[in-house]
């Protein structure tokens, strides 16, 4: 009887191990499928094809969270291009990565009495009273990365929040680590809890990694984006000393963290195309593209079409001013690695989909 029981236990254990292995293989296959879809070229327009004609002679204000942030800069460039085509006047105010300065910029913007204000990548939760005041004065409000998910954000009086789906961006970044490591990634995750979207993206990446039975979240690190230039060089040395080979993959909510890791990694003797493999869940800065292109301590980024988003912000503002509904457009997620870095931006070091978005918006607005 004991022999039969022991045999049954052994069989059950073997079956459990086999079941776990099958699940692990299935999750790895899923990760590879997600990555394969995300690296494909995005050359077909899938956005709006109709909407109101442009309302003429409007003034708008773009309030940047921090103009040192490459993503925020890229969106501003798109807004500037689109506003020029629309015949609108654009003012740009820099929040310098500080809540105090962001609120001061919003006060300044409201005083200008523009037709619309764009919240460029900062948390509107700190400005509910001022945003309510802006709406009461007839100012249309839209955001870029103001809240984690794209779409209308009535809690903050935002007609529409432009961006890719933050959960999908996070999923693709984490899935790439799983696929590249063959399901054995040891991961450090970098975020900045000052921004709700950053914290939610980081938690989403953590959840994806934790579903991988052979993977490990080594540490979840909360450090401010605005101070990466001061913090990251020494922090990188400390993490290498603390974790050694367990510092194998780094997932960050923004490329900015990796702008200041490279020199420390080089001094530590780490090869540019080796571990730690740095992967960003946004925004696809020029410096990130250059690092990926040359194999210089960054393996991938999940960029957003920043200039396209700038054009969409102007379009959403025009819809708000025309009393129309939002377009509802959410750009699909794209992954850039060394293998496809030239697909969409050529040698420009930027993700700029070749899908004719400028002509599409001009057609909607009735301008040339």
Q: What is the pLDDT of residues 136-168, one digit of tens each?
A: 999 999 999 999 889 999 999 999 999 999 899
Q: What was the pLDDT predicted at 10?
A: 54
Q: What was the pLDDT predicted at 195?
A: 87
pLDDT per position as a tens digit, 12-66: 555 445 455 557 789 999 999 999 999 988 789 999 999 999 999 999 999 999 9
Is the confidence at residue 108, as pLDDT, over 60?
yes
Above pLDDT 90, what percent of the chain?
Answer: 82
Confidence of residue 196 (pLDDT cuts 50, 70, 90): confident
Query: Is 59-164+305-331+351-365 in CATH node 3.40.50.2300?
Result: yes
Fold exhibited by the domain 166-301: Rossmann fold (3.40.50)
- Ramachandran region of residue 297, left (φ > 0), alpha (ψ -120 to 50) or beta? left
Domain parsing of the chain, residue ranges: 59-164+305-331+351-365, 166-301
59-164+305-331+351-365 and 166-301 agree in CATH topology: yes
Strands 300-301 and 336-337: antiparallel
Nearest to 329 by CA among 157, 152, 67, 99: 152
Average pLDDT, the chain: 92
């Amino acid at each position: 009887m004991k022999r039969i029981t022991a045999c049954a236990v052994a069989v059950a254990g073997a079956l459990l191990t086999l079941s776990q292995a099958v699940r692990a293989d299935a999750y790895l296959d899923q990760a590879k499928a997600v990555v394969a879809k995300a690296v494909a070229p995005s050359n077909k327009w899938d956005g709006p094809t109709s909407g109101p004609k442009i309302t003429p002679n409007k003034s708008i204000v773009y309030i940047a969270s921090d103009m040192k942030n490459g993503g925020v800069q890229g969106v501003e460039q798109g807004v500037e291009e689109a506003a020029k085509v629309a015949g609108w006047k654009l003012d740009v105010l820099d929040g310098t990565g500080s809540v105090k300065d962001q609120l001061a910029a919003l006060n300044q913007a409201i005083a200008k009495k523009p037709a619309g204000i764009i919240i460029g990548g900062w948390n509107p939760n700190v400005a509910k009273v001022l945003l309510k005041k802006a709406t009461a004065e007839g100012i249309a409000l839209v955001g870029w990365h103001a809240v984690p998910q794209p779409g209308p954000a009535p809690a903050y009086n935002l007609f529409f929040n432009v961006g890719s789906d933050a959960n999908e961006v996070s999923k693709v970044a984490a899935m790439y680590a799983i696929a590249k490591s063959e399901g054995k990634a040891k991961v450090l995750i970098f975020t900045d809890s000052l921004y709700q979207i950053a914290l939610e993206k980081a938690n989403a990446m953590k959840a994806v990694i934790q579903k991988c039975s052979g993977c490990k979240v080594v540490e979840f690190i909360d450090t401010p984006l605005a101070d990466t230039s001061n913090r990251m060089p020494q922090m990188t040395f400390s993490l290498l000393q603390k974790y050694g080979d367990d510092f194998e993959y780094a997932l960050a909510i923004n490329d900015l963290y990796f702008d200041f890791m490279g020199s420390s990694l080089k001094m530590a003797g780490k090869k540019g195309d080796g571990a730690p493999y740095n992967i960003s869940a946004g925004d696809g800065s020029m410096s990130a593209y250059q690092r990926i292109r040359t194999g210089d301590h960054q393996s991938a980024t999940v960029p957003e079409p920043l200039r396209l988003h700038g054009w969409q912000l102007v379009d959403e503002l025009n819809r708000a001013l025309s009393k129309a509904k939002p377009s509802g457009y959410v750009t699909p997620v794209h992954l850039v690695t060394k293998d496809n870095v030239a697909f969409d931006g050529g040698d420009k070091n930027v993700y700029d989909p070749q899908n004719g978005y400028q002509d599409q918006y001009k057609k909607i607005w009735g301008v040339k």
